[in-house]
Amino acid sequence: MNKKAIIEKTKNYVKRSMRNEEPGHDWWHTYRVLKMAKRIAREEKADMFIVELVALLHDIADWKFHGISAGPKKIREWLGSLGVDKENIDHVIEIVQESYFKGSGVPDKMRTIEGKVVQDADRLDAVGAIGIARVFTYAGYKKNLIFIPEIKPRKNMKFSEYKKGDVTAINHFYEKLLLLKDRMNTKTGKKLAERRHRFMERYLKQFFKEWNGKE
């Protein structure tokens, strides 16, 4: 099977698989990540086939909902059924596993340019206007509150801490989203993240003015 056919079949597979996922991690999130990853890949001269596969499959059986090993297992089964060679399958799975945000205190270990491209695209979807929308969508899904002044943002988290604990929507900005600008890999990703980061800062400034009855 040629690469174009593999991508098309994978796209249809992901659409079916993510039909009922949480709105912040559904097909439309994947669609946006795919578009951005292709844009960055062209600038960085990355392997477009690997980039597209990873972008499409990066949230299949997302660990936040299905456990840490479910996604890689499904990816290996799916790509194997399409005849993708083991080296490329291993590369895709390596990127997916390393792309997860594992906590503010855990450094990134992305090895290849393809991984760096998709990680940047995924993180860009977590910041800016869409990132703000996704924060509150996910908070509603998890029944987390918007903000509780007494609950302070957690710092230098390990992955085990990031996966658990009471959180609020606003704290998530400080525990993850505002940190992403400085964890981008590519020139294009860094430039776009700067603009989106400033937008979030303006939003939070306005939020706290309203929260404190000053506007």
The rounded distance, in Å, linking the Cα atoms of 101 and 15 is: 23
The rounded distance, in Å, linking the Cα atoms of 149 and 31 is: 35
pLDDT by 10-residue block (mean), the chain, 215 residues: 95 91 87 97 96 94 59 91 96 88 63 95 97 94 92 77 72 94 95 97 98 93
Query: Domain range holding 194?
Result: 3-211
Looking at the structure of the chain, the number of domains it has is: 1
Helix (H) and strand (E) counts in the chain: 11, 0
The rounded distance, in Å, linking the Cα atoms of 91 and 62 is: 18
Predicted pLDDT at 205: 98
Predicted pLDDT at 62: 63
Q: Which tokens belong to 139?
A: 């908070």
Here the CATH number for the domain that contains residue 206 is: 1.10.3210.50
Predicted pLDDT at 104: 56
Predicted pLDDT at 214: 92
